[in-house]
Amino acid sequence: MKIGELSKHTGCEVETIRYYEREHLLPTPPRSDGNYRQYSEADAERLQFIRHCRSLGMSLDDVRTLQRFQANPEMACDQIDAMLDRHLLQTEAQIETLQKLQKQLQTLRNACRDHLDARQCGILQNLERAASRSDCVCHAEHSAMEK
């Protein structure tokens, strides 16, 4: 199948397919007489594998590692286990960071509950305070927690 067909078949953008080829995650496909890339069903499966890994937040290096294990199925999977454990820790840290951000945004949102004009808006006033290096409500609690 041509690259456009592969794109439709997998739901992956053409440019992303080309990018994965440049990154050597997908092998360079043979060309037709008309110089079109010719992909196989195995290429489609490999692309779906890559997409699934990426949807789980795995890096390109992680995908390469997993592909090495696919190519060498007799290898022990300890390295895969460790990679996923690291990914879980990173994800937990990201969740914690996002929860802090959510709390800060909610605090900032609570600074303006009335329908006022912009010069009286508590959100805008706090953002302006932060821009002038003064404390704003969303970082005041965060700063106190760090001390």
Indicate if the pLDDT at residue 23 is higher than 80: yes
What is the rounded CA–CA span in Å between residue 24 and residue 20? 6
Give 62-108 pLDDT, tens digit per residue.
999 999 999 999 999 999 999 999 999 999 999 999 999 999 999 88
In this structure, the answer to whether residues 50 and 104 fall within a common structural domain is: no
Least confident of 6-10, 44-48, 81-85, 123-127: 123-127
pLDDT tier, 116 (very low <50, low <70, confident <90, very high otherwise)? confident
Per-residue pLDDT at 65: 95
Strand partners, 37: 31
Instruction: Give the total number of structural domains in the chain.
Output: 2
pLDDT tier, 142 (very low <50, low <70, confident <90, very high otherwise)? low
In this structure, the answer to whether residues 38 and 67 fall within a common structural domain is: yes
In this structure, the answer to whether residues 18 and 47 fall within a common structural domain is: yes
48: containing domain: 3-73
Give the predicted TM-score (pTM) of the model: 0.75
In this structure, the answer to whether residues 133 and 107 fall within a common structural domain is: yes
| Tokens 């007489």, located at residue | 33
In angstroms, the Cα distances linking 109 to 15, 66, 76, 116, 130 are: 39, 43, 51, 14, 15
- Kindly state the average pLDDT of the residues 112-123: 83
Task: Indicate the average pLDDT of the chain.
Answer: 90
